[in-house]
Amino acid sequence: MGLADKVLAVNNDLPIRTALPVHSGKVRSVYWLTEADSRRLIREKGYDVAADTPLAIMVISDRMSAFDCIWKGEGNMEGIPGKGAALNAISNHWFKLFRDSGLADSHILDVPHPLVWVVQKARPVMIEAICRQYITGSMWRDYSKGVREFCGIQLPDGLEKNQKLPELLITPSTKGVLKGIPGVPELDDANITRSDLKANYESFCFQKAEDIDRYEKLLKEGFGVISEALGKLDQVFVDTKFEFGYVTAASGQDKLIYMDEVGTPDSSRIWDGASYRAGKVVENSKEGFRQQLLSYFPDPDILLNKDRMDERRALAEETELPQSIMEAVSKTYLNIAERITGQPVQLSDNPRTEMIAILKNQYGLVDESL
């Protein structure tokens, strides 16, 4: 079996009994279960959620997204070998550490397979909460052009590229297009300030104004937990994205939780510590792949200029990247996952068959007629 055969590129066609059409994002697909199956699993598995909570099966793929496009490689390599399992393993590790540290729960209720989560439906807060400990990436590009204010926070003059910031910065942006909020552009990923959140907390789907303090506390504590753990591995936690939502526990109490993924190479920048101290940045995250793409194409502006999205999509569709690039990304993801979790990532020769068997025999969710 070749390397390409082990890649799970299509994850929206499993014969899972659902109540709604399968929702597919760039990397994950979500199968919303029927009310009967949700209630049955909550009862059988003893999940700490309200009895009427909708549940879903979330299946991760090995697809590689960057610059808002999906990329493929030579030899029918439609994704990165081991990437999905690596991302899930890392998220599972951090979510457990958050829970054990008394921070907050996540949307994940169960992990039937390395590529599969059972999740509860959350009511998402409509912000992408970005934490930055170092000045790099888009923030550095803007800073180098003279910008000093970011999401209402004033930065001092004299900072250098990739330097550690005086304090951890929270630079949130909108999650999706939000309409009718004074001073906030009706755009996805529009930067917002803390005063925007305070003045319009309901528009961002916070239940009460005090929850902004709670989300900031969870952000800083979550960042700190991951940063400390990575530091012991001589890795630098540079920046990351968190997402939050509300769920209802079995007790009937609403609580703010972490959701999506945390501390992964897809949602964070992670640098090698020894290299950084020597004055060189070595990426152990998706940023390394982004940089490879920028140097691979003769006109990198296509990847950076949002006005050229049609060209960019065509470029991604037409390009088969060298297998060496895809394999290097696989190695990065698997290595950092194994270092973080302390154990090898479980890889499967036939993930599809495995997932169907587990979801059928242990969860009773496979519809034979599909």
Q: SS3 string of 209-269?
A: CHHHHHHHHHHHHHHHHHHHHHHHCCEEEEEEEEEEEEEECCCCCEEEEEECCCCCCCCEE
Please give the helix or strand (H or E) that residue 142 lies within, else none: helix 137-144
Same domain for 204 and 76, yes or no, is no
**Residue in 189, 67, 210 with CA at minimum distance from that of residue 130:** 189
Same domain for 129 and 256, yes or no, is yes
- Cβ distance 200 to 192 under 8 Å? no
User: Hunting for tokens 């945390």 — which residue is that?
Assistant: 262
Question: Number of folded domains in the chain?
Answer: 2
Same domain for 83 and 117, yes or no, is yes
Question: What is the pLDDT, as a whole number, of residue 184?
Answer: 86
For strand 55-60 and strand 64-66, is the pairing parallel, antiparallel, or unpaired?
Answer: unpaired
Same domain for 247 and 140, yes or no, is yes
Q: What is the CATH number of the domain that holds 138?
A: 3.30.470.20
Question: What is the pLDDT, as a whole number, of residue 368?
Answer: 72
260 within a domain of the structure (yes/no): yes
100 within a domain of the structure (yes/no): yes
For the chain, what percentages of helix, strand and coil (3-state, to nearest 5) are there? 35, 25, 40
- Cβ distance 147 to 134 under 8 Å? no
Same domain for 116 and 127, yes or no, is no
- Give dist(CA 155, CA 325) in Å, integer: 36
285 within a domain of the structure (yes/no): no
26 within a domain of the structure (yes/no): yes
Express each pLDDT in 125-141 by its tens digit: 999 999 999 999 889 99
Residue-wise DSSP of 278-289 = TT---B-SHHHH
- Give dist(CA 276, CA 272) in Å, integer: 6
Q: What is the CATH number of the domain that holds 113?
A: 3.30.200.20
Residues 6+ apart with CB under 8 A from 367: 15, 16, 17
- Give dist(CA 176, CA 218) in Å, integer: 22
Express each pLDDT in 174-202 by its tens digit: 988 888 888 888 888 889 999 999 999 99
Same domain for 28 and 148, yes or no, is no
Same domain for 69 and 79, yes or no, is yes
Same domain for 143 and 252, yes or no, is yes
- Cβ distance 286 to 274 under 8 Å? no
* pLDDT < 50 stretches in the chain: none
329 within a domain of the structure (yes/no): no
340 within a domain of the structure (yes/no): no
Same domain for 80 and 155, yes or no, is no
Same domain for 188 and 87, yes or no, is no
Q: How far is CA 261 from CA 4, 88, 108, 271, 345, in A?
A: 25, 8, 10, 19, 17
335 within a domain of the structure (yes/no): no
Question: What is the pLDDT, as a whole number, of residue 350?
Answer: 87
Structure token digits, residue 365? 């969710």
Q: Is 272 helix (H, G, I), strand (E, B) or coil?
A: strand
Question: What is the pLDDT, as a whole number, of residue 301?
Answer: 96
Same domain for 189 and 117, yes or no, is no
Residue 271, φ and ψ in degrees, nearest 5: -110, 150
**Residue in 220, 227, 29, 202 with CA at minimum distance from that of residue 127:** 202
Express each pLDDT in 47-96 by its tens digit: 999 999 999 999 999 999 999 999 999 999 999 999 999 999 999 999 99
Domain range holding 257?
Answer: 123-225+238-266
Same domain for 186 and 62, yes or no, is no
202 within a domain of the structure (yes/no): yes
